[in-house]
């Protein structure tokens, strides 16, 4: 974390102080000349990483109060910039303080325009800060810190005059309802407590007359005057700062006020510089006089600080996530180890139980193969009912046909059991060898014709063909007439009528049926 250093500028010199935890350490005094600026540049070279705030306590300070129409956004910024340029022409060290909106009418907004009119006094020191690229948080006026001091020094009336002794002289700041209206610095060369007390009383009387002339205070209204003093000099100040009808003096212990704000480096006299510097380091006011170009390196420092903090937060988040994942991993590893132990124990129990069984006649692999084969056979098994139903339907269409018997089987060859007239010794066709793994349902139907048709060979032929055509109506069936009731080949001899009568009792035919499962 960067250190915080304070710069105190008055009409005589520039002082540099280190603030840390309520303690102020003076590190250097630089005069308003080339040698002092050079020494200050060397000082900055050793403390470039510090964060600087400049407190100005100079006489060249102006205040203007004006009521403006209420605006927002870019219009408000442009209006305030134009007014500041009109009041403090040529000085970039200006600021606008809002005093609130009016209660009635258009509810216009009242502003206090403040500026450090002698910009040449600040330029050498600001140039040294720019050259060293030192982060300047802002330029503050000692008069703007009086509100923070009065907030902790009750009682505070509606109109209050804060008279504080600084290195530059006697600072008188007028406040109305806790808001500053104007401030004035009176240079003093005296160092004795009596002379300073007399000067405070005299300056307070002058300010009272000025307030009456500017109609900031009604005639006859007493003005509360608050003077922070060293406890050892309180008696001297009481002798000179006496209450009157116009001025009501209140002396506040400077050491007690410092302890109230947490200042550990207590002042040695009634000079309030350290108290105001501590207020600036502890809680700087929002309003300051430095333009954006002077605060450029401070803005860069803020961005860098935010990035570092963001990176630290992201790293912390990653570490927390990694820690959580590590805990989950350890828990999972422990659970996995427990499951492995439980599995091993269950396997041992299973093997122990398996040993109590009688020995198997064969191995488990053989049993598994047999069961798989049985499953395949069961899948290939078919019911005889569909084929018998087809034969029954054909018999219904041809009532002259009787069935002697049906030979049914399953085979991978669709021509199984078929006899061919061309070669009686052949049992299968080349197509049978290509049957593959497909199963077929085969039925060899042995049929009979009535004896009355023994002499009617044409009728026999028509009846058998009609029965075969009736079977072919089932598209899934392959129907082949394997044998007719009589020989119809051209090479056979004709038989006499007596022979035909002997064969009348043998009017048999054979039909081969097959269906792919």
User: How many angstroms separate the CA atoms of 232 and 303, rounded?
Assistant: 47
Whether the CA torsion 153, 60, 223, 176 is positive or negative: it is negative
User: How many angstroms separate the CA atoms of 261 and 278, rounded?
Assistant: 8
Starting at the earlier edge strand, list the strands of the sheet with 136-141. 23-31, 13-20, 4-9, 51-56, 136-141
Secondary structure letter of residue 357 according to DSSP: S
* Bridge partner list, 68: 109
Domain ranges for the chain, please list them: 4-60+118-290, 293-356, 385-516
End-to-end CA distance of the chain: 88
Note down pLDDT in tens along the chain; length 517 residues: 678 999 999 988 999 999 998 899 999 999 999 999 999 999 999 998 899 999 999 988 888 888 899 999 999 999 999 999 999 988 899 999 998 888 888 889 999 999 998 889 999 999 999 999 999 999 999 988 888 888 887 766 788 999 999 988 899 999 988 888 889 998 887 778 889 899 999 999 999 998 888 888 888 888 999 999 999 999 999 998 889 889 999 999 999 988 988 898 888 888 999 999 999 999 898 889 999 999 999 899 889 889 999 999 999 999 999 999 999 999 999 999 999 999 999 999 988 888 888 877 778 788 888 888 887 777 667 778 888 888 999 898 888 899 999 998 888 788 887 764 434 444 444 444 444 567 788 999 999 999 888 888 888 899 999 999 999 998 888 999 989 887 765 555 545 555 545 454 468 999 999 988 7
Q: Which residues are within 8 A (CB) of 62 and not within 5 positions of it... i.e. 6 or more apart? A: 87, 88, 114, 115, 117
């Amino acid at each position: 974390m960067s250190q915080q250093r304070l710069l105190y500028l008055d009409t005589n010199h520039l002082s540099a102080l280190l603030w840390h935890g309520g303690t102020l350490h003076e590190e250097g005094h630089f005069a308003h000349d080339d040698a002092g600026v050079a020494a200050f540049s060397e000082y900055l070279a050793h403390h470039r990483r510090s964060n600087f705030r400049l407190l100005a306590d100079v006489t060249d300070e102006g205040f203007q109060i004006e009521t403006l129409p209420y605006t927002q956004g870019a219009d408000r910024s442009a209006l305030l910039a134009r007014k500041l340029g009109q009041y403090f022409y040529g000085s970039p060290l200006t600021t606008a303080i809002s005093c609130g909106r009016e209660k009635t009418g258009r509810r216009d907004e009242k502003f206090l325009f403040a500026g450090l009119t002698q910009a040449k006094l600040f330029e050498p020191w600001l140039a040294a800060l720019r050259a060293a690229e030192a982060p300047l948080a802002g330029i503050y006026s000692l008069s703007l810190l009086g509100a923070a001091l009065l907030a902790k020094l009750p009682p505070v009336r509606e109109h209050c005059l804060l008279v504080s002794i600084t290195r530059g002289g006697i600072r008188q700041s007028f406040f109305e309802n806790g808001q500053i209206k104007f401030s004035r610095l009176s240079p003093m060369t005296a160092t004795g407590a009596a002379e300073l007390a007399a000067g405070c009383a005299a300056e307070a009387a002058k300010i009272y007359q000025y307030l009456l002339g500017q109609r900031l205070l009604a005639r006859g209204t007493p003005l509360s005057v608050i003077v922070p003093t060293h406890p050892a000099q309180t008696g001297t100040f009481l002798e000179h700062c006496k209450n009157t009808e116009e001025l009501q003096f209140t002396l506040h212990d400077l050491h007690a006020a410092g302890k109230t704000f947490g200042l550990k480096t207590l002042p040695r006299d009634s000079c309030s510089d350290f108290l105001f510097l501590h207020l600036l380091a502890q809680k700087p006011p929002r309003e300051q006089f430095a333009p954006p170009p002077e605060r450029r390196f401070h803005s860069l420092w803020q961005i860098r600080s935010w990035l570092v903090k963001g990176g630290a937060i992201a790293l912390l988040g990653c570490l927390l996530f990694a820690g959580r994942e590590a805990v989950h991993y350890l828990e999972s590893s422990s659970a996995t180890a427990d499951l492995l132990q439980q599995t091993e124990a269950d396997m041992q129990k299973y093997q122990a139980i398996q040993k109590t069984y009688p020995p198997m006649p064969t191995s488990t692999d053989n049993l598994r193969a047999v069961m798989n084969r049985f499953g395949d056979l069961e899948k290939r098994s078919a019911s005889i009912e569909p084929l018998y139903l087809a034969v029954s339907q054909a018999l219904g269409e041809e009532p002259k046909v009787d069935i002697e018997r049906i030979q049914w089987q399953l085979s991978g060859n669709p021509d199984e059991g078929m006899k061919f007239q061309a070669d009686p010794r052949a049992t299968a066709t080349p197509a049978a060898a290509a049957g593959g793994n497909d199963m077929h349902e085969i039925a060899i139907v042995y049929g009979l014709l009535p004896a009355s048709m023994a002499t009617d060979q044409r009728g026999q032929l028509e009846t058998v063909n009609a029965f075969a055509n009736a079977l072919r109506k089932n598209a899934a069936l392959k129907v082949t007439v394997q044998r007719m009731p009589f020989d119809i080949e051209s090479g056979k001899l004709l038989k006499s009528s007596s022979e035909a009568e002997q064969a009348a009792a043998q009017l048999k035919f054979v039909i081969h049926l097959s269906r792919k499962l």
